[in-house]
Amino acid sequence: MIRRDPQEAHRVATPLELLFDLCFVVAVAQAGGKLEHAVLDGHAGHGVSAYAMIFFAIWWAWMNFTWFASAYDTDDVPYRLTTLLQIAGVLVLAAGVSRAVDRADYSIVMAGYVMMRLALTTQWVRAARGERGAARATALRYAFGVVLVQIGWAAFAFLPHHDMRPWVFVLLAAAELAVPVVAERPNPTSWHPHHIAERYGLFTLIVLGETVAAATMAVQRALDRGSSTELLPIAAGGLLIVFAAYWIYFVVPIHEHLSGGTSAFRWGYGHYLVFSTAAAIGAGLQVAIEHVGGEAHIGTATAAASVTVPAAGFVFFTWLLHARHYKPSLGQQAVLPLTAAAILACTFAGSWAVLCAGAVAALSVVASLSVRYRGSGPDAVTGVRYD
């Protein structure tokens, strides 16, 4: 297994990586569906905590595979078979989401997660066999660290006291996050910046697509109950939010910012917040639609917040991790944080909250373009100055 060239021209995602992402969407859909049901039943706190834990397992397994593949994707038979085993693991994880949320039984989720992680361990061991010196030591540190943390996860699934699980989860998640930091410090792996940016962008599109699919199914159910007129503001607002989310995320070529070191860690790790809020928008739209149909045991403000909170979170975290690096003026920097605050304020707009949030998100795109084209700095995409 030979390292890929980090300066390789025309490096793009492979069909196997796209298949990997699509299979992960099954798990994302399961997590989002359970979040929706918990909020509808009036158990938002439990639903959010369970969603956060399950989404961490999904995101972390996806992220580790993505960065490994950027450095060592040989696309030969052993690599493909090991990747298919990781895909099987995420499907097992997805099958256990309902049991985890409804019964606090994480055994199936952990089985799928450990399957994915141990498959990745074999990839790192294979990479170590093909390396020499410092690169070999990095690969072995990864393999050892992943196995060590999996022992803790195996014990987590069988904890006797449910109250202990959130605290143990935080400790194990911190241990997972520490493995790459420790392994990469002496000798970083040779990942490809453009390839990583593309992979993250593709997963963002897939998660936003899941949001559209979830909202479409919810609208269909509501139409069957004959509540079409009240659905129009939610459907229009949801569509505007998704379009604005796409525009805000992809307006700049972020690969130029991925120079390695701590900035790459912040960007890569921080996308947990970007991905999880993007997926939660779909669950929130379903909650809002069910509320219109009279199927929710919650108030109007709670139904609105199920959309506005994740939408505002997506806008803010995208600015914090991503878009702010290409906004030289104060006016450009202020647009997205103010947009996030305005979207949160839409929570109190009653039955028009989702449409209001969508309009604010769409206006933020217009404002960003207006400020950029009137500014004194170069355009983020073309490099042309407009002063």
Same-domain pairing of 222 and 346: yes
Residues 217 and 332 in one domain: yes
Q: Poorest-confidence range of 11-20, 220-229, 260-269, 356-365? A: 220-229
CA distances (Å), origin 257, targets 43, 324, 376, 380: 40, 11, 21, 12
| pTM of the predicted structure, to 2 decimals | 0.88
Other CB atoms within 10 Å distance of the CB of residue 360:
26
Structural domain contains residue 380: no
Per-residue model confidence (pLDDT) at position 158: 74
Residue length, the chain? 387
Instruction: Say if residue 375's pLDDT is above 70.
Output: no
Between residues 183 and 378, the one the model is more confident about? 183
- Which one has a higher pLDDT value, 339 or 379? 339
Percent of the chain with pLDDT over 90: 43
Does residue 245 sit in the same domain as residue 350? yes
Print the SS3 string covering the chain.
CCCCCCCCCCCCCCHHHHHHHHHHHHHHHHHHHHHHHHHHCCCHHHHHHHHHHHHHHHHHHHHHHHHHHHHHCCCCHHHHHHHHHHHHHHHHHHHCHHHHHHHCCCHHHHHHHHHHHHHHHHHHHHHHHCCCHHHHHHHHHHHHHHHHHHHHHHHHCCCCCHHHHHHHHHHHHHHHHHHHHHHHCCCCCCCCHHHHHHHHHHHHHHHHHHHHHHHHHHHHHHHHCCCHHHHHHHHHHHHHHHHHHHHHHHCCCHHHHCCCCHHHHHHHHHHHHHHHHHHHHHHHHHHHHHHHCCCCCCCHHHHHHHHHHHHHHHHHHHHHHCHHHHCCCHHHHHHHHHHHHHHHHHHHCHHHHHHHHHHHHHHHHHHHHHHHHHCCCECCCCCCECC
**Window from 51-60, 203-212, 251-260 with minimum mean pLDDT:** 251-260
35 and 152 together in one domain: yes
Does 174 share its domain with 260? no
Residue 1 lies in a domain: no
Q: Does 283 map to a domain? A: yes
What integer is the mean pLDDT of 309-322? 92
Question: What range does the domain containing 36 cover?
Answer: 15-184
144 and 200 belong to one structural domain: no
Last residue of a domain, one of 140, 156, 184: 184
Task: Give residue 279's pLDDT.
Answer: 92
Domain boundary among 184, 201, 230: 184
Q: Give the total number of structural domains in the chain.
A: 2
Co-location of 237 and 281 in the same domain: yes
Query: What is the structure's pLDDT at 271?
Result: 93
Q: pLDDT: is 153 or 272 the higher one?
A: 272
Of the candidates 184, 210, 231, which is a domain's last residue? Answer: 184
Q: What is the pLDDT of residues 19-72, one digit of tens each?
A: 999 888 888 988 988 998 889 888 888 889 889 999 999 999 999 999 999 999
pLDDT band of residue 213 (cuts 50, 70, 90) is: confident
Q: Output the domain CATH number for residue 317.
A: 1.20.1410
